[in-house]
């Protein structure tokens, strides 16, 4: 059947004016409209933000610079899911990060095999500008170990049993929002980190960091004898049970110890504690003069003789250090009192400890097995801690001397 060419042309002309059948040639022709990037909707899928990112030569992504020509900073949260409500904490951190103008945070959970040090190193490799940690003293210790020597600030969100570092830094223990916000716009305080090398009977050795205190002897045995279930139920009070069980079998053991620059001592001791911080739970001050910024370890050598010796130790810690020393009249009384040798104190950049037989060792409240030789050294200012704006830690310089977390991220 023949077709009418004219009819075909008329049909094409009609289609050109029909929006549902545009002419391909006309649609492809350029027009006079100038398009801007924001005229085009972002191509995203559910759950994605559509945030622009730059890919470097190695394939890693980073946020594009903002209007001030710097990358939007990003934080990471490392938390112990047993100690905290992970869902609520992640939501709170993400909300406060957005309000502070930071990128979406990274989240890492600790496990039995990774106490927090490995995932923290992953976060640092991602180029985060701040790290938040939430968990017990062991989690804080592990994360601090991974961050030691970096310039990335660490914000401690108090949680868990002891919160010993947070207590010694006088951080708010019941205000998680204040500590989360400190990660984004707080002051930064450089604090010291202790490094302990533990030599085992089999010839192996292990190097670990601590931020509060470590010890060899009775204090470590007390921690090893503390029931984990009881600790979960009653908190630090569980250590009383551990102490009672440890004292029954406690026997002095011979050690040789030396503080660098001083002579070697030999003594029969119950415990040797090397501390970066001096305060314990329940308001007890083991070493009131200890400072987290002085570049030195404070060392306590416990060598009581019999029940009377232990009473003298308890009086020294619970009454003299924790009560009398806080008042002028009390300090005058202490100055007149005859010194006893139940517990001796010294200070230095480190300590070398050698025992005749392997003894229990603890770092920041976690047991680390037994060792025959412990070498502890201090690394001054190795850890940057984020604290709330204007927060002052007794015995330290103002935190803001190093700049805020946000200023460090922008540098």
Q: Is it the case that residue 374 has pLDDT exceeding 60?
A: yes
Residue scoring higher pLDDT (29 or 359): 359
Share of the chain above pLDDT 70, in %: 65
Question: What tens digit of pLDDT does each residue of 44-55 get?
Answer: 444 444 344 444
pLDDT given for residue 99 in this prediction: 95
pLDDT given for residue 229 in this prediction: 55
For the four alpha carbons of 176, 182, 184 and 185, in that order, the dihedral sign comes to: positive
Q: What is the mean pLDDT of residues 121-144?
A: 95
Q: What is the mean pLDDT of residues 218-232?
A: 62
Measured CA to CA, the distance from residue 143 to residue 345 in angstroms comes to 29
CATH architecture of 59-191+383-410: 3-Layer(aba) Sandwich (3.40)
pLDDT given for residue 214 in this prediction: 93
Q: Is it the case that residue 400 has pLDDT exceeding 60?
A: no
pLDDT given for residue 176 in this prediction: 94
Residue scoring higher pLDDT (273 or 42): 273
pLDDT given for residue 285 in this prediction: 79
Q: What is the mean pLDDT of residues 318-322?
A: 63
Question: What tens digit of pLDDT does each residue of 176-215 get?
Answer: 999 999 999 999 999 999 999 999 999 999 999 999 999 9
Question: What tens digit of pLDDT does each residue of 271-317 get?
Answer: 999 999 988 766 677 888 889 999 999 999 998 887 777 777 767 76
Spatial neighbors of 122 by CB under 8 A, at least 6 apart, are: 108
Q: Is it the case that residue 9 has pLDDT exceeding 90?
A: no
Question: What tens digit of pLDDT does each residue of 78-103 get?
Answer: 999 998 999 999 999 999 999 999 99
Task: Please state the domain extents for the chain.
Answer: 59-191+383-410, 194-381
Residue scoring higher pLDDT (254 or 231): 254
Share of the chain above pLDDT 90, in %: 50
| Lowest-pLDDT choice from 3-7, 251-255, 271-275 | 3-7
Q: Is it the case that residue 251 has pLDDT exceeding 90?
A: no
Measured CA to CA, the distance from residue 300 to residue 269 in angstroms comes to 11
Residue scoring higher pLDDT (24 or 234): 24
Residue scoring higher pLDDT (147 or 66): 147
Q: Is it the case that residue 239 has pLDDT exceeding 50?
A: no
Residue scoring higher pLDDT (356 or 237): 356
Q: Is it the case that residue 26 has pLDDT exceeding 50?
A: yes
Q: Is it the case that residue 407 has pLDDT exceeding 70?
A: no
Q: Is it the case that residue 23 has pLDDT exceeding 90?
A: no
Residue scoring higher pLDDT (248 or 319): 319
pLDDT given for residue 316 in this prediction: 72
Mean pLDDT of the chain: 79
Position 63 confidence tier, pLDDT thresholds 50, 70, 90: very low
Q: Is it the case that residue 128 has pLDDT exceeding 50?
A: yes
Which CATH class for the 194-381 domain? Answer: mainly beta
pLDDT given for residue 121 in this prediction: 97
Position 234 confidence tier, pLDDT thresholds 50, 70, 90: very low
Residue scoring higher pLDDT (114 or 43): 114
């Amino acid at each position: 059947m023949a077709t009418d060419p004219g009819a075909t042309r008329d049909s094409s002309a009609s289609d050109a004016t029909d929006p549902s059948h545009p002419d391909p040639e006309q649609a492809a022709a350029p027009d006079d409209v100038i398009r801007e990037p924001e005229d085009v909707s972002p191509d995203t899928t559910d759950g994605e933000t559509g945030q622009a990112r730059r890919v470097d030569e190695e394939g890693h992504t980073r946020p594009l610079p903002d209007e001030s020509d710097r990358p939007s900073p990003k934080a990471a949260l490392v938390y112990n899911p047993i100690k905290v409500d992970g869902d609520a904490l992640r939501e709170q951190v993400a909300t406060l990060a957005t309000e502070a103008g930071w990128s979406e945070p990274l989240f890492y959970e600790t496990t039995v095999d990774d106490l927090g040090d490995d995932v923290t190193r992953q976060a640092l490799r991602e180029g985060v500008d701040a790290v938040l940690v939430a968990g017990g003293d062991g989690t804080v210790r592990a994360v601090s170990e991974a961050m030691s020597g970096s310039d990335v600030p660490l914000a401690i969100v108090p949680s868990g049993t002891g919160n010993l570092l947070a207590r010694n830094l006088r951080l708010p223990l019941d205000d998680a929002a204040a500590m989360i916000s400190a990660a984004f716009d707080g002051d930064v305080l450089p604090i010291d980190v202790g490094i302990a090398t533990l030599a085992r009977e089999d010839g192996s050795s292990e190097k670990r960091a601590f931020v509060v205190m470590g010890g060899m002897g009775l204090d470590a045995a007390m921690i090893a004898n503390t029931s984990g279930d009881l600790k979960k139920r009653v908190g630090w009070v569980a250590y009383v049970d551990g102490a009672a069980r440890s004292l029954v079998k406690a026997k002095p053991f011979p050690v040789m110890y030396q503080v660098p620059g001083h002579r070697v001592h030999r003594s029969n001791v119950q415990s040797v504690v090397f501390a970066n911080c001096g305060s314990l739970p329940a308001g007890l001050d083991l070493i009131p003069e200890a400072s987290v910024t002085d570049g030195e370890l404070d060392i306590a050598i416990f060598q009581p003789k019999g029940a009377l010796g232990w009473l003298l130790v308890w009086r020294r810690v619970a009454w003299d250090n924790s009560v009398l020393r806080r008042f002028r009249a009390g300090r005058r009384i202490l100055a007149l009192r005859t010194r006893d040798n139940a517990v001796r104190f010294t200070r230095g950049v480190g300590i070398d400890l050698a025992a005749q037989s392997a003894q229990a060792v603890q770092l920041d409240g976690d047991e680390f097995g037994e060792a025959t030789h412990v070498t502890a050294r201090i690394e001054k200012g190795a850890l940057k801690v984020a604290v709330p704006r204007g927060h002052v830690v007794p015995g330290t310089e103002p935190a803001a001397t190093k700049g805020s977390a946000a200023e460090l991220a922008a540098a």
